[in-house]
Structure 1
Amino acid sequence: MTAGATRVFATPRVLVEDRGDVVLLRSADELGEHAPTLGHLLRRHGERAPDALLAAQRHDGGWRRLTWGDARHAADAVGQAMLDRGLGADRPLMILSGNSIEHLVMALGAHTTGVPVIPVSTAYSLASRDHARIRAIAALCSPGMVFADDPGPYGAALDAVAAPGRVEVVARGQRAGAVRFDDLVRTPAGPDVERAFAAVTPQSVAKLLFTSGSTGVPKGVVNTHGMLCSNQQAIGQVWPFMAGEPPVLVDWLPWSHTFGGNHNLGQVLAFGGSIHIDDAKPTAEDFPRSIAALRAIRPTVYYNVPAGYAQLACALEDDHGFARAFFSRLRFMFSAAAALEPALWDRLRAVADAASDHDVPLIAGWGATETGPGLTAAHWHPAARGCIGLPLPGVTLKLVARDTRWEAMAKGPGITPGYFGQPGLTAQTFDSDGFFRTGDACRFVDETDPHQGLVFDGRLGEDFKLVTGTWVRAGRLRTALLAEAGVLADAVIAGENERFVGALAWVDQTRARRRYGGERPVALDHPGLRDDLARALQALNEGQGSASRIERLVLLDEPPSIDSGEVTDKGSLNRRAVLQRRGSALAELFGDPASRQMVEPDRAQTSVQGHPEPARPA
C-alpha cells in the first residue's frame, strides 16, 4: 500500500509548566469545534453517505450489513418506539447482550432521542450466578427498557431485573411479554422524534458505563454527548488522516467498556467509518475466526488489548500470507487497557517491519472510563516502547509528586461530571482545582525532553510497604513477572506488612500447552512448568533489592470469581478482592517455615491452591 497524501500523525506539540512538585502538561493545539451529540454524527453521515457501510456482522457464512442510511431511519423508528413507551432522560435503556447490529441500532435510537444507554458487561449476565451486579445497577438507575439479543442465554438476567412497567425487548427467540426488536424498527417516526432530538445537548447523558471499583461494587460513570464528541475531535486532530479516510475496523472489544464502545465505535461514528463486529474472543480456540475476518476485511486501523495482541503475534509469525494481508492497508496498531509486555511489543514491531511494504507504527494511549476515554495518545513514529503519548488537544494533565512517582490528574471537556447517584464519591474524585484523580502514575520517557511522551507507571492504589517500610510498586513488579515467566495468565503481588514480596498467579494454559505440548491442560505440578517458573524468579530477582524481588509464588487452580468481585467489568483482576478472598493461599505464601510445595527462586516446587478459605482477620 502506498500511503495517501494525508499525514497519519500530527506534529506533537506540548506546553510544560514546571512548578517543582507539580507539572502541568497540555497540547499546544486548541481543541477544534465538534458535533454537539452522537445523534448529530449519525445524521451527518447518514445524509452524506447513506449507502456506505456502518456495521457488519457474521451471518450464515457471510456478513449481514447495516448502511448509514438504514441506521439513521432505524434509529428514528426505535427512538419513536422508546418515546411511545415513556423512555427519556430519567428512564434509560439497559442493554444486557454483547456487540451486535441490533445493539447498535437500539443505542443509536436512544442517542437520537436523549435516552441514556446502560450497556452492561455480558459477564454480569452470563458468568454470574446471583446477578447481584445487574440487580444493583437496575435498582440505582430504574431503566424503562431492557434489551437482550436472545432470551435463551439472557433469560436469567432478564428475570433478575424484571419489574412492573419495565419493557423487555428481544431480537430473537421467545419470551413471554417481550417486545420484538423488529416491531420497534417498524414504528413510524413522528414529530416527537424531532422534538426529542432538538432537546439533546452536549450536557445530556449519552451513556452510563458501570465499572467496578476496588470493592467490586459497580459505579455508574456519567458519559455525556459532549464528552464523547469532544474526545473524537481530539483524536482526529492528532490522527488527521481519519478526516479523509473513514476508518475500517474489525473489532471484538465490548461496547460495555470505554475502549470498545467509546473509543472504537465512537471513532466509526465520528469519522463515517465502518465496523465489522468480530464475535470471537482472543483465545486459542476462538482466534482463528478473528484471523479469517482480518484476512478478508483488511482493516485500516487495529485496536486490541495485550491478550489479543498475544494471539495476533503468533498468527502473524506463523502465517506470512495472513501477515501480508493484515498489514496491506493498515495505518497503525494501537494498544490500550494494559501495558504490552516488552517482548510482545518487540515481536509485533518485528513482524510489521518484515511483512509490510509501508511503515505500520505500533502505538499506545491512556485514558479511563471517566475520561471519554482518551487522555493521551502517541502520534509519532517510532515512539518509545510503552510510550502512552502526550495530552490530546483540550486535555490538561497535572502530575503531582508522590514519593518517587508522579500521580496523574486530568481536566478537559472529556472528563465525566461524576458518578450517577453517588455525589459523595464524585466529590472525592476531584481535587480542589477540579482535576480528576485518575489513580494512575505516569513518568516521562526522557525527563529532559517532554516531547518524547509519557509512560504509564502503575496504579497508585496497588502500592504497599513491607514491614521494613520499603515501598513496593506492585504494578511494575507484576508486569515484570508476567514478562519474565511467559506462561502466566495473570498475577497478584502481595506482601503488605510482610518481610518480603510474594505472588499469587494463574497459568495461561494456551501458552503452557504450546510450550510443554499436549492437548490437555498442563498440570500445575508439571516439572517443566515448576523449573521454568523457578528460573524466571531467579532472573527477575537478579541484582534487585527487596522491593523488586519475588521470593515466593503460589499457583492457583480456581479461576477468579466475578461474583466475588475478583474480576472487574473489564475482565481484569481486582487485586484487593483477590487478596481478601484467597486467605489460605496467602497463609501459605507467607508461612514460616516455607511450604515445600512452593515455587521459590532456588527450587522448583509448586503449590496448587484450590477452593480458597476466608481471608485471615487483619
Structure 2
Amino acid sequence: MNCMSRYRPHHVLREERADGTVLLRSGYDLGPVAERTGDWLHRWAEEAPDRVFLAERHGAGWRELTYLETLQQVRALAAALLGRGMGPETPIMVLSGNGVDHGLLALAGQYAGIPVVPLAEQYSLIHGAHGRLRHAMELIGPAMAYTVDADHYAEALALDVFDGVEVVASRPGSSGATPFSDLLKGDGSADVDAAFAALTPESVVKILMTSGSTSSPKGVMTTHRMMCANQAMIADSLPFLRQRPPRIVDWLPWNHVFGGSHNFNMMLANGGSLYIDDGKPVKGLFDRTVENLGMISGTMLFNVPVGFSMLLDALKCDGDLRRTVLGDLDMLFYAGASLPQEVWAGYEQLTLETCGAVPLMTSSWGLTETAPATMLQQEPTDRSGVVGVPMTGVTAKLVPEDDGRYEVRVKGPNIMPGYFRAPEKTAEAFDDEGYFITGDAMSFLVPEDPNKGMKFEGRISEDFKLTSGTWVRAGQLRLDVLACLAPLAQDVVITGADRDEIGVMIFPNMAVLEGEGFDPADRDGAVTDPRLLSEIHRCLAERALSVSGSSSRIARAMVLSEPPSMPEGEMTAKGNLNFRKVLSRRADLLERLYAPEDPCVTRI
C-alpha cells in the first residue's frame, strides 16, 4: 500500500516591476523533454513491452493493449494514412468519444505528422448541436473522419460537410464506411520511418477546439513540443511519476485538454496504464464508473468536483470499493471548479482510515492553449481552491488589478503557437512581450509568500457592476455559491449587472433532488417546491452571515427547472455554461428574479 505521496516543495522566484507587475517562475530547472510523443512509445515498447498501456471494457473484462502491441498498430495505421497521401494539410476529425481505436488513431497521426482533431461526441449525436459540428468541419477541412459506430452517427455523417471526406469506423455497419481494421493492415509502400524522422518539436499534430463559451470555437494548434514539455513539467513537480508506473481508470473526454492531453500523455510519458472508464458522473452512467473503479486499483484519481462528490457517497457505503479505489493512491486531483471543502475533508478522512495516510490532494491551472498544466499545487495543502505555483519552464506575468487580484499571462514551451487559420485571433491572444493573455484572475494565498500558492479568482470578463457602481467579481462568487449550495446545485449563474442587488439562477442537481424527495414541478421554467426553496434560503442565509458588502451578498435566488441546453448554446460540450446565452435566452426568468413578488423567488 502506498498512500503517502512523494512531492517536491514549492520553490518560487519572484520579480516585481515598478508598475506593480509581478513575474513568477520556478526555481527548479526544466527536466529532459522528449522531441516527439512517439519517442515515449518507442521507449516503453522496448523497456516494458508487455505492460498494458491502453484498455477499454469488453464484455465482463477488458480489451487491453500492451506497449509493444500499441507501437506495432500505431505504425501500421501511420503507414495506411501515409499511403493515402495524408500529411500536415489533411487533418483527421474524430467524432466519437474515448476508446482504444480512437487512441491508436490519435497516436498514429502524431507519429506520421497528421493533425488529429477530437470533437465532443455531442456535436454529432445531438441534432441541435450540428451547427457546432458544421463549424468545426468547415474550419478544419479534414480528409478523414473517424467514428466508432457509423450507424450510430449516421445522421451527422449525412451532412453535406462530409462530402468527399473518407469516413472510417470501427463498426461500419451498413454505412459503406472504411473499416478501421482495413487501416490496421498498413501500406507497404509508405516510408513510416522517414515520416517519423521528419517530425520536429514544432510539428502541429493535434488541434483542440475551445469550448466556445464566449465566441465561436477556435482551433488550438498543439505541437509535439507543447505536449512533451508539459509532461516534463508535470513530472518535475510530481516525482512519484518517475518512481513507479502510474495507473488510472479515467472517463475524462479526450476532446478536452484535461483528459486527452494531460491524463492520456501522463500515462504514455511515464510508462503508465490508462483504463478507459465508459461511465460518467451523471445519472444512468455513474454506476458503470463505480463498477470500473472496483475492477482496477489506480495510483491516481482524476475527476471534476461533482464526480468526486458522487464517488464519495459510494465509497462511504462500500468497504471493498474503498480499498480498491483509495488503497494505492499517490494523488487525488480535481479540476474544472473548486472542490467543496466538505468533500475534500471526506476524502482526507476515508484515505486516512483506509491506508493510514492521505495522498497528495491537489489541483492545477491551465487552459487548452497551455497544453494545459501551467501552475500546480505540488505540495500538500489543507484546503481546496489553491492552484499552486508556476511549473518548471513557465513564467507567469501577473498584471495588477485595482482590487488585489492579478490578471494572469504566461510564457513557456507549453504555450500554443496560435489558433488554426485565425491569425487575427492569434495576434490578439499575446501581449507585446509575447505572453499569452489568459483572461483569468488570481490572487496570492499569502501576499508576502508566493510559495503558499495562488487562488483562482474567476474570469475577468465575467465581472460586472451593480447600479451603485460596485464591482462584482462574478467568477469567484460563482465558485463560493456553488460550494455553499453543494450538493443541491449542479451550476449557477450570478446575476445583477446594472441592477441594485446580486441574484443567482440555480441549475439543480436533479439526482439529489430526486433522492431527497424534492418536487421538480415548475411554474414557467422555475421550480416551485417550497421545501427546496427553504433549503436554498437556509444555505444562502448562513453564507450571508460570513460576508459583508453588496459585492458578495446574494439577495435573491431562483431554481431553474430546465437544464442548460447545448443546442441553444447555453452549455458547451465540455460542460461549461455560456452565461451570456443563459441570461439572454431566459430573459423572462431574469425579470421574474427581480420582480417585487414571485412565488419561485426566495429573498435572502
TM-score bin, normalised by smaller chain? over 0.9
Question: Which letter does structure 2 place at the counterpart of 1:468?
Answer: S
Partner of 1:308: 307
CA RMSD of aligned residues (A): 1.8
For 1:500-579, list aligned pairs within 5 A. Answer: 500-516=501-517, 524-542=527-545, 543-579=547-583
CA contact under 8 A between 2:520 and 2:529: conserved in structure 1? no
Inter-partner Cα distance in structure 2 for 1:150 and 1:446: 52
Partner of 1:123: 122
- Identify which range, 25-34 or 191-200, moves more after superposition: 191-200
Determine if the alignment matches structure 1 residue 192 to structure 2 residue 191: yes
SS of aligned partner of 1:572: coil
For 1:392-471, list aligned pairs within 5 A. Answer: 392-404=391-403, 405-471=405-471
Inter-partner Cα distance in structure 2 for 1:374 and 1:426: 20
**How many Å apart are 1:482 and its aligned residue?**
1.9
**How many Å apart are 1:541 and its aligned residue?**
2.4
**How many Å apart are 1:295 and its aligned residue?**
2.1
Partner of 1:177: 176
Inter-partner Cα distance in structure 2 for 1:25 and 1:471: 27
Unaligned runs of 5+ in 2: none
SS of aligned partner of 2:356: coil
* Per-residue Cα deviation, 1:355-378 (whole angstroms, up to 9, x for no partner): 223331211111110001000111
Inter-partner Cα distance in structure 2 for 1:211 and 1:157: 20
Inter-partner Cα distance in structure 2 for 1:413 and 1:569: 27
**Structure 1 420/599 Cα, relative in aligned 2: closer, same or farther at 3 Å?**
same
**How many Å apart are 1:468 and its aligned residue?**
0.9
CA contact under 8 A between 1:55 and 1:275: conserved in structure 2? yes
SS of aligned partner of 1:548: coil
Determine if the alignment matches structure 1 residue 136 to structure 2 residue 135: yes
**Structure 1 164/482 Cα, relative in aligned 2: closer, same or farther at 3 Å?**
closer
Question: Which letter does structure 1 place at the counterpart of 2:569?
Answer: G
Partner of 2:165: 166
Question: Which letter does structure 1 place at the counterpart of 2:7?
Answer: F
Question: Which letter does structure 2 place at the counterpart of 1:540?
Answer: R
CA contact under 8 A between 2:83 and 2:189: conserved in structure 1? no
SS of aligned partner of 1:546: coil
Partner of 1:371: 370
Inter-partner Cα distance in structure 1 for 2:279 and 2:422: 36
For 1:469-480, list aligned pairs within 5 A. Answer: 469-480=469-480
* Per-residue Cα deviation, 1:498-557 (whole angstroms, up to 9, x for no partner): 11111111111112233337xx85763223201101222222223521111122222222
CA contact under 8 A between 2:223 and 2:416: conserved in structure 1? yes
Inter-partner Cα distance in structure 2 for 1:29 and 1:175: 56
CA contact under 8 A between 1:341 and 1:479: conserved in structure 2? no
Inter-partner Cα distance in structure 1 for 2:261 and 2:16: 32
**How many Å apart are 1:346 and its aligned residue?**
2.0
- Relative to the length of structure 2, the TM-score reads 0.95
SS of aligned partner of 2:159: helix
Inter-partner Cα distance in structure 2 for 1:128 and 1:348: 39
Partner of 1:612: none
**Structure 1 13/133 Cα, relative in aligned 2: closer, same or farther at 3 Å?**
same
* Per-residue Cα deviation, 1:169-188 (whole angstroms, up to 9, x for no partner): 00014143310001110124
Inter-partner Cα distance in structure 2 for 1:580 and 1:273: 46
Inter-partner Cα distance in structure 1 for 2:163 and 2:599: 58
Inter-partner Cα distance in structure 1 for 2:177 and 2:278: 25
Partner of 2:64: 65
Determine if the alignment matches structure 1 residue 17 to structure 2 residue 15: yes
SS of aligned partner of 1:409: strand
CA contact under 8 A between 1:485 and 1:532: conserved in structure 2? no
**Structure 1 275/161 Cα, relative in aligned 2: closer, same or farther at 3 Å?**
farther
Inter-partner Cα distance in structure 2 for 1:372 and 1:204: 14
CA contact under 8 A between 2:129 and 2:566: conserved in structure 1? no
SS of aligned partner of 1:551: strand
Question: Which letter does structure 2 place at the counterpart of 1:259?
Answer: F
CA contact under 8 A between 2:296 and 2:324: conserved in structure 1? no
**How many Å apart are 1:439 and its aligned residue?**
1.1
Question: Which letter does structure 2 place at the counterpart of 1:278?
Answer: D
**How many Å apart are 1:38 and its aligned residue?**
1.2
Question: Which letter does structure 1 place at the counterpart of 2:133?
Answer: I
Inter-partner Cα distance in structure 1 for 2:433 and 2:240: 35
The total of aligned residue pairs comes to 596
**How many Å apart are 1:52 and its aligned residue?**
1.2
SS of aligned partner of 1:573: coil
Partner of 1:88: 87
SS of aligned partner of 2:191: helix
